[in-house]
Amino acid sequence: MTIALSVNGRSVETEADPSTPLIDVLRNHLDLRGTRYGCGLEQCGSCMVIIDGKADYACSREIGSVAGRSVTTIEGLADGEALHPLQVAFLEEQAGQCGYCLSGILMSAKALLDRNPSPSRADIIAALDGNLCRCGAHPRILRAVEKAATAMREGVVA
């Protein structure tokens, strides 16, 4: 069975079994390896992608459930060589240590900023609640999301 969807703005098709996890299709069929596999239980957020504008776990989402939908991965965040304001802010704030969690955190943050360009710190904390960072970079992560929100409101958008 052919499953068609949009990934990072381009139409793709896969012959994967409809019950195959989305993360497997992204990483092993489409060679998009930025989405990380963590727990496989929707508890760490390292697999977070954006599906039709909403942050969602790729580890437990079956590919058949996203047929005809739009999926954005971390590879779709930048515009060519131009980094997204979130990526710039995370670099400037040194918001990651090991970096394993960052693709999921960035996607959760992007989904938040797309729907709420002026989030409060509480909004940011709530949006990132499903993302674990074991390195303890949370204060820098929060500052980076706040910085990116400001940059995006001021028109610095990739």
Average pLDDT by stretches of 10, the chain with 158 residues: 96 98 98 96 97 98 98 97 96 93 97 98 97 92 98 81
CATH superfamily for 85-153 is: [2Fe-2S]-binding domain (1.10.150.120)
SS (H, E, C) 73-142: CHHHCCECCECCHHHHHHHHCCCCCCCCCHHHHHHHHHHHHHHCCCCCHHHHHHHCCCCCCCCCCHHHHH
Domain 3-75 maps to which CATH number in 3.30.470.10, 3.40.50.1980, 3.80.10.10, 3.10.20.30? 3.10.20.30
Whole-prediction pTM value? 0.95
Do the beta carbons of residue 49 and residue 75 sit within 8 Å?
A: no
Q: Where do the CATH 3.10.20.30 domains begin and end in the chain? A: 3-75
